[in-house]
Structure 1
Amino acid sequence: MSMDAYIHKALPGSPGGPLLFVFHGTGADENQLVSLGRDLAPRATIISPRGDVSEHGAGRFFRRTGEGVYDMDDLARAADKMAGFVKAHVEAAKPSAVLGLGYSNGANILASVVFGVPSLFDACVLMHPLIPFEPEIDGTLAGRHILVTAGKRDPICPPNLTARLEAYLRADGADVTVEWHEGGHEVRPNEIEAARRFLARAAQGV
């Protein structure tokens, strides 16, 4: 898969440092999370792809047929394409660590890549993911570090599905941390601080 399989933005970091992939939410583009990524991982090279699906003009990484109802064939296509894109960049950069951060739809595509290729990312931040299906994990998540952030009143990503995702990930051997806030689908400061600490540890291989 080509490094240019997706329209994307790249911000150089320290040579030999970590590689951080950031994945935007529905309706956004490759610019949404770049500054957050730089703030959270100052030494990392940041790669931010733009989703290749349009939902009534809103950018996404895969199709859906309704709120929380995914086109599973297109999700499989998208996860395979994204895994190839990530691998191409990793092979070119040879980074010290491969990190991922996604919000909402971006968290969903990141999680789906992790399910299909567990060894690809060393650590991932999934902000408000919605996984309304039972993941089939191709291998093991042992040794992988995952931070999930969520709102206790999130109407898009219900807390019970967040708890179920946590259970799936733990059952497959992942080191999982969950950071909650009292609100909805918005990102709050405690999530950002949790992500900052998490990525700092991950970049150091801790």
Structure 2
Amino acid sequence: MRLSSVNRIETITADGDGKAADDRLFVMFHGYGNDEREMIRVIEGVYAGTGRSPSYLSFHGTYDRDYMGGAYWYPDGCGVEERRRECSEVGDAVVSLLDSPMFASRRKILIGFSQGGYMSYRIVREHPGVFDAAILMSPSFKGEETTNGAMIAGDTRFLLLYGSKDRTIPLDDQRTAQRVLEATGRLETHEYPDMGHAINEAEIEDIRKFIEL
């Protein structure tokens, strides 16, 4: 497995206006057909106007698309076990990377769109206690129909975001995500009228509020 990323790690310092030091580290996974710059644009949008710069590791999908460009984390249409196996391999590698003195003092926040949202969810399931929060933007959720969300260990907070007109992720899968994550007792969720499988300014603002910038 090849895993690459674009990183920016800012020094943890308090702002001159008295704001607390920003110790957040965003661990980011893009959606199908995109690349690591997708999530960099998202997190820079979240931080716009705050006077701060985010620290992040933005990962590139493990499979590149021939001819069309972009990348993905698991093949479109693959089975549940293959999808989980691909997520496990990436998750194990990322958590091993984070097990370093460099990141020990950081609050680690997963953020992913679509396939990257599902990746973030699976990493929390398999590595409880590592991440402070997981922001799941329009995540795919096929294969989790029988999952008991109450059994998701740890205290990771979840933010679940969908557009009301998202037809890329079937409505049944969206409802499964809501049910599974709500059972943890640690879920905040938002739906955006007239938005499809996309990202909008209201979503960026809700992420900003969720992480308390």
Name the TM-score class by shorter chain.
0.7 to 0.9
**Aligned residue for 1:204?**
none
How far the C-alpha of 1:174 sits from its partner, in A, is: 4.0
Deviations along 1:88-127, one digit per CA (max 9) or x if unpaired, are 3322211331101101111121112122223222101100
Match of 2:81 in 1: 73
The count of corresponding residues between Structure 1 and Structure 2 is 193
**Is 1:146 equivalent to 2:120 in the alignment?**
no
C-alpha spacing 1:10/1:174, structure 2 compared with 1 (3 Å): farther
> Alpha carbons of 1:140 and 1:108: their partners in 2 closer, same or farther (altered >3 Å)?
closer
Identity of aligned residues (%): 19
Gap regions ≥5 residues in structure 1: 202-206
Query: Take 1:138 and 1:47, find their aligned partners in 2: how far apart are those partners?
Result: 29
Residue 163 of structure 1 and its aligned partner are, at CA, apart by: 2.5
2:30 counterpart of 1:24 = yes
CA contact 1:63–1:71 (8 Å) conserved in 2: no
* In 2: Cα distance, 1:53 partner to 1:136 partner: 30
CA contact under 8 A between 1:19 and 1:90: conserved in structure 2?
A: no
- SS in structure 2 opposite 1:64? coil
Q: Which residue of 2 aligns with 1:102?
A: 112
Contact 1:123/1:145, CA 8 A, preserved across alignment: yes
Root-mean-square deviation (CA, aligned residues, Å) is: 2.5
1:62–1:144 Cα change, 3 Å:
same
Pair 1:47–1:168, CA change in 2 (3 A):
same
Instruction: Summarize the Cα distance change of 1:90–1:143 in structure 2 as closer, same or farther, 3 Å threshold.
Output: same
Contact 1:126-1:147 within 8 A present in 2 as well = yes
- Structure-to-structure mapping, 1:188-199, within 5 angstroms: 188-199=200-211
Which has more radius of gyration? Answer: 2
